[in-house]
C-alpha cells in the first residue's frame, strides 16, 4: 500500500518494495525540502531532486506533490519547484529566536568596508551551510557567490570549510561522507578538494577555499567563537584570487578576527537578554 505524508500511521512503500517507517518517510520529505531550497530563485526540477537525494522518481514525485498541496513547496509553470508560503510564514515565527543577521549587521558591514570585498555570514544547518547575510565592499569587482537564504552542502565554500575544521574530526568526517554525493555534483574532484581544505584549515586556524564553480575566486573564513560546544557560525570574505593572495591574506585575516569576535559578542548579548 502506498501511503502519504501526514497519514495516521505515515507508512509508505519503499522504492525496493519493502516497507519503511513514518520517520523514514518524513526524513525523505525534509531532504526534498532542503534540496529545493538549495536551488534558490531558479527552482529545482524533479530530475535535479532525484539526483541530489537518491530517491526514486516515483517516490520523489509523490512526496513533492504532497509538499505542494500542504504549501511547503510551490510548482511553477515550468514544472520547477520552489519553497512555498508555509516555509515563509514559519520562518517569520522562528526569526525572533534564531535570526543572527540583525546583530551581525554592524560587524559584517565593517568587514566589507575594511577589506573592500564581499563579506558573508554563514550558519550551519544540519548537513548544509546557509548564507544568513551578505555585505558588499567598495572594490568594483564583486563576487556575489551566494545570496541570503541560499544553502550549500557543508564544506562547499570557505565558511563551510571553517565550520567543518572546528568540529570534532569524527563528526566532520561523518558530514563529509554524507555530503560526498552532493559535493560531487559540482565536479568529480570537489570532495577531495574539500577534505584537503579542511585539513589545511585545522593546521592554520583559518579556512581558504577556491571556487568550485568559477575559476580565479578565493574565499577566506573564520568561525565565530560562540559559547556552544561546536561553532555554528562563520564569517568570510570572498574576492577575485589576486586580492586574497597569500601575501595579502594577513590583512583580511585581521579584519576577519575582529568581525568574528564582534559577532560573537553581539550574539551572546542577544541570547543573554
User: What is the tens place of the pLDDT at every residue in 51-60?
Assistant: 888 889 999 9
pLDDT at 10: 32
pLDDT for res 146? 83
My answer on whether 109 and 211 are in the same domain is yes
Residue at which a domain ends, from 88, 120, 148: 88
- CA 110, chain centre distance (Å): 23
Closest by alpha carbon to 153, among 193, 116, 117, 113? 193
Inform me whether the pLDDT recorded for 203 exceeds 80: yes
The listed range with the strongest mean pLDDT (7-11, 16-20, 78-82) is 78-82
The residues, ordered by sequence, that sit 6+ positions from 21 with a Cβ below 8 Å of its Cβ are 10, 11
Q: Is the pLDDT of residue 125 over 90?
A: no
- pLDDT band of residue 237 (cuts 50, 70, 90) is very high
pLDDT of residue 40: 62
Kindly report the CATH number assigned to the domain that includes residue 151.
3.30.450.40
- Residue 202: per-residue pLDDT: 96
Number of H helices, E strands in the chain: 9, 10
- Out of 99-103, 146-150, 154-158, pick the least confident: 99-103
Among 88, 108, 123, which residue terminates a domain?
88
Of residues 24 and 192, more confidence is placed in 192
Residue 205 in domain: yes
Amino acid at each position: 500500500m502506498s501511503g502519504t505524508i501526514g497519514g495516521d500511521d505515515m507508512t509508505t512503500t519503499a522504492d525496493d518494495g519493502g516497507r519503511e517507517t513514518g520517520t523514514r518517510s518524513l526524513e525523505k520529505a525534509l531532504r526534498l525540502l532542503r534540496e529545493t531550497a538549495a536551488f534558490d530563485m531558479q527552482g529545482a526540477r524533479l530530475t535535479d531532486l532525484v539526483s541530489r537525494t537518491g530517491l526514486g522518481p516515483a517516490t520523489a514525485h509523490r512526496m513533492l506533490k504532497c509538499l505542494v498541496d500542504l504549501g511547503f513547496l510551490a510548482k511553477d509553470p515550468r514544472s520547477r519547484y520552489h519553497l512555498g508560503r508555509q516555509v515563509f510564514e514559519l520562518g517569520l515565527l522562528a526569526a525572533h529566536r534564531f535570526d543572527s543577521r540583525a546583530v551581525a549587521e554592524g560587524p559584517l558591514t565593517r568587514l566589507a568596508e575594511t577589506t573592500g570585498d564581499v563579506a558573508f555570514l554563514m550558519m550551519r544547518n544540519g548537513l548544509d551551510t546557509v548564507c544568513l547575510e551578505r555585505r558588499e565592499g567598495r572594490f568594483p569587482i564583486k563576487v556575489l557567490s551566494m545570496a541570503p537564504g541560499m544553502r550549500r552542502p557543508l564544506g562547499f565554500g570557505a565558511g563551510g570549510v571553517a565550520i567543518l575544521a572546528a568540529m570534532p574530526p569524527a563528526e566532520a568526517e561523518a558530514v563529509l561522507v554524507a555530503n560526498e554525493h552532493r559535493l560531487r555534483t559540482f565536479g568529480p574532484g570537489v570532495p577531495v578538494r574539500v577534505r584537503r581544505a579542511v585539513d589545511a584549515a585545522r593546521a592554520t586556524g583559518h579556512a581558504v577555499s577556491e571556487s568550485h564553480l568559477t575559476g580565479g575566486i578565493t574565499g577566506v573564513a573564520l568561525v565565530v567563537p560562540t559559547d556552544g560546544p561546536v561553532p555554528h557560525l562563520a564569517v568570510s570574505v570572498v574576492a577575485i584570487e589576486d586580492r586574497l593572495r597569500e601575501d595579502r591574506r594577513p590583512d583580511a585575516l585581521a579584519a576577519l578576527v575582529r568581525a568574528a569576535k564582534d559577532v560573537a559578542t553581539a550574539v551572546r548579548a542577544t541570547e543573554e537578554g
